[in-house]
Structure 1
Amino acid sequence: MLAISGAPMAALNAIISPSLEPSTEEIMALAATESPGDVPWSIHVRGIPGPLITEAAAWHGLTHFEREPLMVRHSEQGMPPEPVVDGLRVRAAGADELALYAKTVAEGFEAPHELFQVPADSSLERIDGITFYLAEPDGVPVGTGLTATSGDLTGLFNITTLPGCRRRGYGRALTLELIRAGFAAGAGTAYLHASKMGEPVYAPVGFRTEEYLTVITAPHSSSSRRLVSDHPSELACPDY
């Protein structure tokens, strides 16, 4: 599968193999006939890529490997209780708020704003199964999340908290609300891709690492979702 966002981040322009045994021929064919163009791109495979995948990626200059835990919370664990943290409200963002959402995502990941301009496109709000969320105490955005629901599965993405708002329980509360949203939509099994640092954050709310995703990029490309921005933050955490 080819997924090209156009964003200047390799992880967001990818050839993705959903199979446990990825086909080198299919990956090479996509790379040859469906070139991602001038943007950085990547190859995503489940588990550890074999030598043929490694060689094919290297032929295209992709030699940097990152492993991301795939964590799953099964529906049998039930809907978690509604979190209550300092009056925090987690709500769906409207089409007219996606620019604010994109800015908050960038600042939460401490990344240049231009890396997250794709979510600012209001047409994305109309995609079935995709919902954008803002976390706000007293109407001030301090974090973000996104759910992608398909069948009985809910994917959790873009879970962020502004740097100055961390260690207040906002990230945990936001995660729990996204899980609850999945249950409300009839999709009680939730999954997410975490960093190694993120694993202990999601484990207490019921997520367990079940396998790993390998992202293959060119060296020095913008593969990470945690790139430090070179300009000061435009959003501040409320002072309570």
Structure 2
Amino acid sequence: MTPLHDPLRPIVFAYTVVRDALAAGADGRCTRDPDGTVLAVSGAPVATLNGVINPNRDPNPQVLESLAGDPSLTGLPWSIQVRGRAGRAVTEVAARFGLTAVSTLPLMIRRPGAGVLPGPAGSLRIRRVEDGELGLYARTMAEGFGVPHEVFAMFAEPALAKTEHFVFYLAEADGVVVGTGMSAVSDHLVGVFNIGVLPQHRRQGHGQAITAEIIRVGQSAGATTAYLYSSPMGEPVYASLGFRTEEVLTVFTAPV
């Protein structure tokens, strides 16, 4: 199936490339089947950062099962991620590996002509992470997502800062770090990741401002379209910036 008949595939494929690169930067395991399905194992204790991701509308259950059996997943929280609502065959593959908890993430896309982006409000400053600041970035991101620091320790790896097309951002208000973001530019696409704001600094427009800055920088690099997978909490924020939900990603994980 070509992108002509599946216009969202290049966007989902770009997402798999980001997951692949994150795994490689964390010295993990990554491999790709000829049909585009990727196994990306970062080693982080986060199910969505380890597992099998399929960029096709009609995933091949045999390919999913083959990659899901990789021993590098042993002992880690992991996931199988497929586009849209999963069919019976995919659901059965996931169940054979104990992945019976199902959730969905909206794929939100901001296309050309979506309007003017707002600028940072007040004293907010959004800047690139400097050398030696990845530890600060990882800690701030963990606090923004409300998880222990070790969950996102992989983002302190120096190799990630050198990954081509990745840019990490810190947001500061009155000189105090309040949030994070990350972008990944490929061809005409800019992916938006890791938008997190510390709890005590929420509801001030910081998440919106970080996202807008990532889009602006992406546009200056030639990206005409922005994409992200949103949490329920973030969906209204991204909609206010011109993002629209065009598909969902179904995520299979082990029940907690």
The TM tier, using the shorter chain, reads: 0.7 to 0.9
The residue aligned with 2:150 is: 114
Deviations 1:14-48 (A, max 9, x none): 20000010110111111224541221110000001
Note the C-alpha offset of 1:189.
0.6
Q: Is 1:202 aligned with 2:225?
A: no
The residue aligned with 1:136 is: 172
User: Does the C-alpha gap of structure 1 residues 94 and 37 become closer, same or farther in structure 2, counting only changes over 3 Å?
Assistant: farther
Contact 2:41/2:72 (8 A) holds in 1: no
Map 1:10-49 to 2 at 5 A.
Answer: 10-33=47-70, 35-49=72-86
Over aligned residue pairs, what C-alpha RMSD do you find?
A: 1.2
Aligned residue for 1:212, secondary structure, equals strand
The residue aligned with 1:58 is: 95
Aligned residue for 1:95, secondary structure, equals coil
Deviations 1:40-91 (A, max 9, x none): 110000001111110011000000001001000012336625x131211101
Contact 1:176/1:205 (8 A) holds in 2: yes
Note the C-alpha offset of 1:95.
3.4
Which of residues 59, 66, 70 in structure 1 aligns to 2:107? 70
Q: Is 1:192 aligned with 2:213?
A: no
Aligned residue for 2:176, secondary structure, equals coil
Note the C-alpha offset of 1:173.
1.0
Contact 2:53/2:81 (8 A) holds in 1: yes
Q: Is 1:96 aligned with 2:132?
A: yes
Q: Which amino acid aligns with 1:23?
A: N
Q: TM-score, normalised by structure 2?
A: 0.83
Alpha-carbon separation, structure 2, partners of 1:50 and 1:10: 21
The residue aligned with 1:177 is: 213
Q: Gaps (5+ residues) in structure 1?
A: 221-240
Alpha-carbon separation, structure 2, partners of 1:103 and 1:215: 26
The residue aligned with 1:2 is: 39
User: Does the C-alpha gap of structure 1 residues 79 and 123 become closer, same or farther in structure 2, counting only changes over 3 Å?
Assistant: farther
Alpha-carbon separation, structure 2, partners of 1:33 and 1:170: 40
Note the C-alpha offset of 1:175.
1.1
Alpha-carbon separation, structure 1, partners of 2:42 and 2:225: 26
Note the C-alpha offset of 1:187.
0.7
Q: Is 1:155 aligned with 2:191?
A: yes
Mean alpha-carbon deviation: is it higher for 192-201 or for 175-184? Answer: 192-201
Note the C-alpha offset of 1:100.
0.3
The residue aligned with 1:167 is: 203
Note the C-alpha offset of 1:11.
1.0
Contact 2:51/2:68 (8 A) holds in 1: no
Note the C-alpha offset of 1:137.
1.7
Deviations 1:202-235 (A, max 9, x none): 1111000000001100001xxxxxxxxxxxxxxx
Aligned residue for 2:113, secondary structure, equals helix
Alpha-carbon separation, structure 2, partners of 1:208 and 1:70: 8
Q: Detail structure 1 runs of 4+ shifted over 3 Å in the superposition.
A: none
What is the percent sequence identity of the aligned residues? 52
Q: Which amino acid aligns with 1:26?
A: V
Which structure is richer in relative contact order (CA contacts within 8 A, separation 6 or more)? 1
- How many residues align? The count is 219
Aligned residue for 1:210, secondary structure, equals strand
Contact 1:78/1:188 (8 A) holds in 2: no
Which of residues 123, 130, 152 in structure 2 aligns to 1:87? 123
Deviations 1:97-119 (A, max 9, x none): 10000000000011111110010
